[in-house]
Amino acid sequence: MTIPSKSLRRLQVEGWVSLPTSDRVDINIHITSIARDLGTVIKSRRGESTETITPKGEGVARVTSLSHRFGLGALPLHSDTAHWTVPCRYIILACAETGSVPTPTLLVAAHDPGFSDHECLLLRSSTFLIRNGGRSFYGSIFDSRRQFVRFDPGCMEPVTDSSTTAMQLYGLQRQQNRVISHDWNEGNVLIIDNWRMLHGRGNDSPADPQRRLIRVYAQ
């Protein structure tokens, strides 16, 4: 198994784990192997197992992406693939190049009981339009009938005032005391349980477009 048993236990308990820098020549093969240990690898739009993620300015990012709204600035907390009927379970990231600007990945436990009863009700009952091209649908952030949290300001459009309020509960300002900051070194690997953790991009200055993370999804 590619993932050390101690790291796997931490992933199960904490919802995320960082693995030390790998001395493997091909980091793409390395993290794909990790993804296979966790489940089924989900291929990208281009049919590839891995995808390179770089900071993009507002003018070149996809319209539905967070980068379209925030450009090279910090990205808000979110879950990946929130526009899918069932979002991917695990995100495996590896750093191929850090770039010249310190740009950590921010993590927050989505299920942490830090909300009041009223706020939990908002998260369960507030309705959003989840935009997914021609297959858009309505949904909520929480749902007692499922295990995952669905949250992405990029593809989830609040339908009511309560939906807008619910979206603000996971704002970085509100969550700043609970945020875990993961600093990157080249070759470092980060595994995120996408059903339990939200993540974002933290950078005080515009991110360096030369920063490169390699990403694999596993279900």
pLDDT at 173: 81
pLDDT at 23: 66
CATH annotation of 5-218: 3.60.130.10
Average per-residue pLDDT for the chain: 89
3-state SS assignment for residue 2: coil
| pLDDT, mean of residues 209-219 | 94
Angle at 82 (CA atoms; ends 78, 87), nearest 5 degrees = 115
Sign of the torsion formed by the C-alpha atoms of 83, 87, 93 and 98 = positive
> Would you kindly state where each structural domain of the chain is located, as residue ranges?
5-218
> In the predicted model, is pLDDT for residue 111 greater than 90?
no
**Which tokens belong to 165?**
């309020």
What is the DSSP code (8-state) at residue 202? -
User: Closest Cα to residue 143, out of 219, 82, 200?
Assistant: 82
Distance of alpha carbon 91 from alpha carbon 80, whole angstroms: 8
Give 75's strand partners: 201
pLDDT at 22: 64
**Which tokens belong to 151?**
């949250």
Global pTM value: 0.92
For 57-106, the pLDDT digits (tens) are 776 667 667 877 788 888 899 999 999 999 999 999 999 999 898 899 99
Per the model's pLDDT, the better-predicted residue between 204 and 149 turns out to be: 149
- pLDDT bucket at 10, cuts 50 / 70 / 90: very high
pLDDT at 134: 84
